[in-house]
């Protein structure tokens, strides 16, 4: 499933991309294999991950944000020899439309007015703007005051001095009763992630209080299902990258990383990709085949991995939640934009026959990450593979069911391997740290490919899609097992 097309969406997004000399494109090729060399280049921006999708004419596309020089180089090197083309014309109508505005002021009035999601409102109701950074905090405070959600500060301050927070609800005060963990806004430019999560929590709580169900487009859920999801215990970390989000919202610059200036004080050299900073095969130069680029050692790259595993306070705070809630079993990291649900592993193809072929075995150092070869494949017990895929498929079915927008469930490795990602770190803990709980990790890529700044219509559709997805993800996880 692969087709390369880096497409951005809106006039503002396109303008911002051009300001950074980045142009949203689609890279098209006859087969998935044609992309291998291109995606191994860690200077190209493939959004969250390079994922190839089939086209109606039998080719494949991958989305990217490229400079004029990069487009010229790829056209020169690949068009005639490899039949690879760069399409700038498919920037479609949605890219010329105005992006959803960022909220001004505080619609939640310092935490005194609770957010109201779309699942408890009349069909056709819309939310007029994306939450700004202060509103995200205010919204959670309002859930605390209105519904008794418990929020808590996380131990590490961000580079810019922000105090981070998370919250939990549904299973009382015993933190060992919490089994579902969701996070959002790891990547700053992926707008709407915190909104999707917060509005879902608000829907659950409002429906639980009123004794009603929830409706997202053509998907409906009963009050009994609402209560079942809450009783599983939900932990949520809605704003993982506050420095980056604040910067992106103020500049419209498609900013992805955090704002740590330790490795570079200006331009693209600022910041670390939090989603390459977790302690899972972080030192990719050691663990992966030389031909692969699961992350980058260059501070100017969008996938710069930092100076050490969990070097960033945002990463440390994310990890600390597992220690506070030791029975988390299911984890979802909310991203955009590809229209996919990704599941472990992301470092190589899965296999269930050779348990010795695993990320902890130094025998395979320097051999990992080459997709579709026979040298290395990451071990996953067959029962775990079945459970993970069952929940992913149910999530995708729910998101499609809202309004028939296309989504796909797939293994996270995609076109190329990744290292240091949230979902693989979650799953790897069971084997890497004695005595910890097994956690099944997912990445939700809502929206359209590389459409980081959705239109207002798309923003509201994303809320409906993701919220139905969260419901079926949680309900199916409960049926598979929380312990």
List, by residue number, the catalytic residues.
445
Burial pattern 217-226, b for ≥16 Cβ within 10 A else e, equals bebebeeebb
Longest dimension (CA), the chain: 64
Give, rounded to a whole angstrom, the gap between the first and last alpha carbons of the chain.
33
Strand partners, 26: 87
Query: Which run of H or E residues covers position 21?
Result: none
Structure tokens at 12: 């503002």
Q: Are 451 and 335 in contact (CB under 8 A)?
A: no
Cα dist. 291→59, 170, 368 in Å?
A: 25, 47, 10
The dihedral formed by the CA atoms of 313, 318, 320 and 321, expressed in degrees to the nearest 10:
150
Where do the H-state alpha helices sit in 20-67? 36-39
Task: From residue 143, give the alpha-carbon distance in Å to each of 109, 346, 378, 413.
Answer: 12, 35, 41, 36
Vertex 469 angle, CA 54 and 194, to 5°:
100
Give the count of beta carbons closer than 10 Å to the beta carbon of residue 160. Answer: 14
- Whole-angstrom Cα distance, residue 322 to residue 317? 10
- With tokens 């149910």, the residue in question is 394
Per DSSP, 307 falls in state: S
Do 141 and 108 touch, CB atoms closer than 8 A?
yes
- Contact, 82 vs 42, CB < 8 A? no
Contact predicate 203/111, CB 8 Å: no
- Here the tokens at position 395 are 């999530």
């Amino acid at each position: 499933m692969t087709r390369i097309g880096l497409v951005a969406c809106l006039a503002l997004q396109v303008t911002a991309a051009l300001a950074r000399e980045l142009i949203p494109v689609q890279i098209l090729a006859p087969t998935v294999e044609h992309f291998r060399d291109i995606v191994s280049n860690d200077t190209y921006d493939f959004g969250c991950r390079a994922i190839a999708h089939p086209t109606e004419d039998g080719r494949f596309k991958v989305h990217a944000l490229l400079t004029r020089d990069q487009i010229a180089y790829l056209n020169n090197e690949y068009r005639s020899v490899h039949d690879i083309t760069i399409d700038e014309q498919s920037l479609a109508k949605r890219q010329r439309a105005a992006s959803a505005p960022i909220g001004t002021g505080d619609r939640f009035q310092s935490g005194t007015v609770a957010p109201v999601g779309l699942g408890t409102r009349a069909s056709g109701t819309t939310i007029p703007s994306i939450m700004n950074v202060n509103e995200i905090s205010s919204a959670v405070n309002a859930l605390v005051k209105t519904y008794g959600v418990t929020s808590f500060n996380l131990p590490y301050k961000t580079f810019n001095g922000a105090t981070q927070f998370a919250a939990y609800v549904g299973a009382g005060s015993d933190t060992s009763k919490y089994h579902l963990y969701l996070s959002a806004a790891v990547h700053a430019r992926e707008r709407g992630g915190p909104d999707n999560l917060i509005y879902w929590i608000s829907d659950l709580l409002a429906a639980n209080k009123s004794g009603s169900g929830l409706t997202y487009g053509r998907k409906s859920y009963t009050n009994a299902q609402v209560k079942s999801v809450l009783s599983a215990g939900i932990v949520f970390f809605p704003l993982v990258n506050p420095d980056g989000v604040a910067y992106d919202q103020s500049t419209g610059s498609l900013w992805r990383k955090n704002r740590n200036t330790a490795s570079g004080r200006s331009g693209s050299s600022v910041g670390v990709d939090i989603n390459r900073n977790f302690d899972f095969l972080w030192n990719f130069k050691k663990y992966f085949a030389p031909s692969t680029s699961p992350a980058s050692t260059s501070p100017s790259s969008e996938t710069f991995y930092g100076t050490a595993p969990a070097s960033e306070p945002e990463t440390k705070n994310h990890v600390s939640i597992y220690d506070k809630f030791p029975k988390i079993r299911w984890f979802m990291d909310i991203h955009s934009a590809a229209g996919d649900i990704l599941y472990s592993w992301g470092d190589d193809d899965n296999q269930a026959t050779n348990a010795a072929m695993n990320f902890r075995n130094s025998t395979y150092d320097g051999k990992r990450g080459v997709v579709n070869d026979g040298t290395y494949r990451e071990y996953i017990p067959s029962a775990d593979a079945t459970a993970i895929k069952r929940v992913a498929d149910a999530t995708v079915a729910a998101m499609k069911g809202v309004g028939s927008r296309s989504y796909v469930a797939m293994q996270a490795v995609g076109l190329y391997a990744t290292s240091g990602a949230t979902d693989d770190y979650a799953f790897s803990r069971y084997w890497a740290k004695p005595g910890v709980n097994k956690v099944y990790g997912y990445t939700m890529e809502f929206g359209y490919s590389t459409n980081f700044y959705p239109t207002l219509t798309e923003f509201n559709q994303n809320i409906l899609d993701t919220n139905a997805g969260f419901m079926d993800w949680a309900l199916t996880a409960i049926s598979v097992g929380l312990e």
